[in-house]
Structure 1
Amino acid sequence: MRRRRRCPPTSLAWTGRGRSPPSSGEGSPTSTRRRRAGAVLGYAAFNDLTARTAQKLTTQWTLGKNGDRSGPMGPLVTADEVGDLADGLRVRTRVNGQTVQDGNTRDMIFGIGELLSRISRTFTLNPGDVIATGTPEGVGYVRTPPWLLRPGDVVEVEIDRLGVLRTPIVSSEARP
């Protein structure tokens, strides 16, 4: 799956990170871990493109995480096809063919049911909601020197049983 993404003109420091977010299949204000895990519709590869310059303007990360067209995701694979993430799906992120992240979902701190149960204590989760989970080590901006995305780079997020999400990075002037 190809999704073209642009670097906004106000943010030159962009990084990409692979994630495997669950998508909720049913709504509920709060629920138990078991019920929450059973409510997951499916999973997809997600490229967490973050505008690091914008993110550093405040102590809250929201500003850097919500740039226009900055969260490519897909395709959605149903939960019954994927199975339990605790059994382990390999998560890899490559930039221009070089592996920069290589992890496994079995290393997640919280299982999906626990994660969704905790979140639903604060937010009402509705059908179709997507939760971007954690990411393996290897984030570009914490490297020495920092590794930031530039127009022309290609980010690939590959997750076992979910496929490869390929994201060419383009300048803001090249956006459709």
Structure 2
Amino acid sequence: MQFVGINHQGESWAAALVDPLLYPLAPVGDFWRDPAGWQDKAVTLTADAGSSLERGTVAEVPLVPASARVICVGLNYKAHAAEGSFKDQDLPPYPTLFGRWTASLSVGNVPVPVPGGEAGLDWEGEVAAYLGRRVESADEAAAADAVFGYSTFNDLTARRAQKLTSQWTLGKNGDFTGPLGPLVSRDEVGDLRDGLQVRTRVNGTEVQNGNTRDMIFSVPAIISLISETFTLHPGDVIATGTPEGVGYARTPQWLLQAGDTVEVEIERLGTLVTPIGDPALRARA
């Protein structure tokens, strides 16, 4: 089953997606109080086309509650770690974690502005994992069972801002720089350790081609580690890292400019399309 967020009845709702039809389920906060229950209800609801909306007739929004923590994992693919901070070094013993605010999130086909002062934005195609239940001090088996589903994600990055200090927060929270695709339930995706192909294209040219088998830290291991320190809740998101091939590591560097289009295609999750715009688009934020 696939789910998206939509603007409906004056607020953000969760909807089941059977493309091209949307089936409104509940306000986003209510959905995340019992996502498994709403998934069961969606099976019955989607059998009745009379309760549907045509996709494209309503605005889509991130299917993430305002209270969610979005925890991103840096340098989590072996080859990407080697092209970045861990070139010619041993791999880190723990994942590099940083946060995104929900205000930086967006959805597919929404133009993303290049922040002023940046030479461009960098692409980072990756898988996002969504928690479906409360997780506190969990072992890896319990952590794996707490995942509700996955989506495509593009961790668009302002590299100049990111590299001003050792902390990455500034460069990872540009306006609209965290587009998410539809959420696909775990039962349709399986275990990332079995391998999903992750591809990124810029203006039709492939720039990343990796596989989730190459992750240094698995999703259950990441969730388990985080849960030792703070409790995770339904609707929290783990962005699992990107394969090699990012723009800043190329010679010469290649960064996204206004007018470019970047696509993240992930096996079983679909394709996320994001156009890049100029700084004037920040007026929407």
Shared topology, TM-score over 0.5? yes
Task: Say if 1:42 and 1:78, in contact at 8 Å, map to a contact too.
Answer: yes
Shift of 1:62: 1.1
Give the drift of 1:130: 0.7
Shift in Å, 1:106: 1.2
- Computed over aligned residues only, the root mean square deviation of the Cα atoms, in angstroms, reads 1.3
Q: Identify the residue that residue 214 of structure 2 maps to in structure 1.
A: 107
Q: Which residue of 2 aligns with 1:124?
A: 231
Larger relative contact order (Cα-Cα within 8 Å, sequence gap ≥ 6):
1
* 1:72-100 residue CA offsets vs partner (Å, 9 max, x unmatched): 01111011111111111100001111111
Equivalent residues in 2 for 1:77-156, closer than 5 Å: 77-156=184-263
Counterpart amino acid of residue 32 in structure 1: D
Alignment: residue pair count: 176
Find the aligned partners of 2:261 and 2:120 in 1 and give their Cα distance.
Answer: 15
Counterpart in the other structure of 2:166: 59
Question: Structure 1: which amino acid aligns with 2:220?
Answer: G
For structure 2, the 5+ residue unaligned runs are 1-107
Using the alignment, how far apart are the partners of 1:69 and 1:174 within structure 2? 10
- Letter paired with 1:127: P
Q: Which runs of 5+ in 1 are unaligned?
A: none
Asked whether 1:36 is paired with 2:143, we answer: yes
- 1:16 and 2:123 aligned: yes
The answer to whether the 8 Å contact 2:192/2:213 transfers is yes
Distance in 2 between the 1:75 and 1:2 partners? 12
Question: For the residues of structure 2 that align with 1:13 and 1:4, how far apart are their CA atoms?
Answer: 14
Report the residue type matching 1:157 in the other structure.
V
Distance 1:164 1:3 in 2: 14
Aligned to 1:75: 182
Moved more, 42-51 or 118-127: 118-127
Q: What displacement does 1:4 show? A: 1.9
Distance between the aligned counterparts of 1:57 and 1:76, measured in 2? 33
Contact 2:114–2:121 under 8 Å retained in 1: yes
Select which of 24, 27, 52 maps to 2:134: 27
CA–CA distance in structure 1, aligned partners of residues 228 and 120 of structure 2: 34
Equivalent residue letter for 2:245 = G
Deviation of 1:25 after TM superposition, in Å, equals 0.5
- Structure with max Cα Rg: 2
**Is the Cα–Cα contact under 8 Å of residues 13 and 53 in structure 1 kept in the other structure?**
no
Q: Percent identity?
A: 59
Q: Is 2:276 aligned against 1:169? A: yes
The structure that is strand-richer by fraction is: 2
Q: TM-score, normalised by structure 1?
A: 0.95
Deviation, structure 1 residue 51:
0.6
